[in-house]
Amino acid sequence: MNLLNRFLPKKKDSTKLYIEALEALLEGDVENAILKLKDLVQYDTNNIRAYLRLGDIFRENQKAEQALKIHQSLILRKRLSKALQSEIYMSLAKDYFELKKFEKVKFYLLEILKIDKKNLNALNFILDVYILQEKWDEGIKVLKKIEKINGLSTSKEQSELIINKAKESEEKKLFNDAIKFYEKSISIDSSNFLSHLKIGNIHEKNKNLNHALDEWIIYAKKSSKDGKEIYGKIEKILFELGRFGEIEEFYNNLLKIDSENFYALLGLSNILISKGEFDKCLSLIDDLVYEKNNSIYLELLKIKVHLKKKKEDKLLSIIDNLFTILKN
């Protein structure tokens, strides 16, 4: 009997084959990994994970159709655990995603969620699909589920999806709906300053200048870095509406929020120069502390004031300061 055993084929170690296949993958030897996995599934037809990995490798190497055939064959297996069923459904969802068959992707992801409604991988995947399909309401529902499961806020992500709904409404010229969506996005995420700008722009299109101003001023105050793009429009409309005193007040308020806001200082300086309040303007500039990279602009602003004031002797001193700054 022992003599006969010597001539029988040696029993293969399925675990060893699987490890060798994974090692080949790690080394970037995809062809060798495929050969070992094919060898393994021929020897051990019940090794579901080997089939799964083989299919995944095909998909990752732009062979989604081959991957799909392998993964589809696994659905027919009986007595699969819930965990294995979920793995198979996830692989199928990924296959169909590569093939851009998104309804099939959602079908298998929903199958996973029937097994485990708290499966975050499936929820995040289906969220990506909804966003890709521009189904914002469905995406928001998924975000709320994710938030409930992991306890982490998804307010920013929800706000972004609502902004997309607002943009769609704008494109369709449904401006009232767009405003409602932008307002909702702000209520969900108060740090969403851009929606104030968007609401203001819609009001401007509809000639509701007072409402436009209200929104733009909020945007300018909350977004000191990007808000400068709107300063000129705010000043222009306040002037057109005869609200002259509010222009100076607007720039003063911005400087209270951020004393290093050079564009607000520039706007306020122009107002003071136009009123002939040169000394007040120079005092304002000298009282505020700025970062070094703004110093040149600060000195140039002083030159502008003195030119208006016609104080040539002061100009020489400022020019000397500029040379010192440039040397440093």
Q: What pLDDT does residue 297 have?
A: 74
Cβ 251 vs Cβ 268: under 8 Å: yes
User: Which has the closest alpha carbon to 96: 57, 67, 139?
Assistant: 67
Amino acid at 91: S
Q: Map out the domains of the chain as residue ranges.
A: 157-254, 259-328
Distance from C-alpha of 2 to C-alpha of 51, rounded to nearest angstrom:
35
Q: In 3D, which of 121, 119, 140 has the Cα closest to residue 131?
A: 140
pLDDT score of 5 = 43
- Residue found by looking up tokens 């819930």 in the block: 82
Residues of the chain below pLDDT 70:
1-46, 288-295, 311-313, 315-316, 319-320, 322-328
The whole-number pLDDT of residue 184 equals: 96
> Which among 259, 253, 308, 310 is positioned nearest to 286, based on CA atoms?
259
Residue 285's contacts (CB-CB under 8 Å, 6 or more residues apart) are: 265, 269, 298, 301, 302, 305
Q: What is the pLDDT of residue 10?
A: 42
What lies within 8 Å, CB to CB, of 172 at 6+ separation is none
So what's the architecture of 157-254 in CATH? Alpha Horseshoe (1.25)
pLDDT, position 66: 86
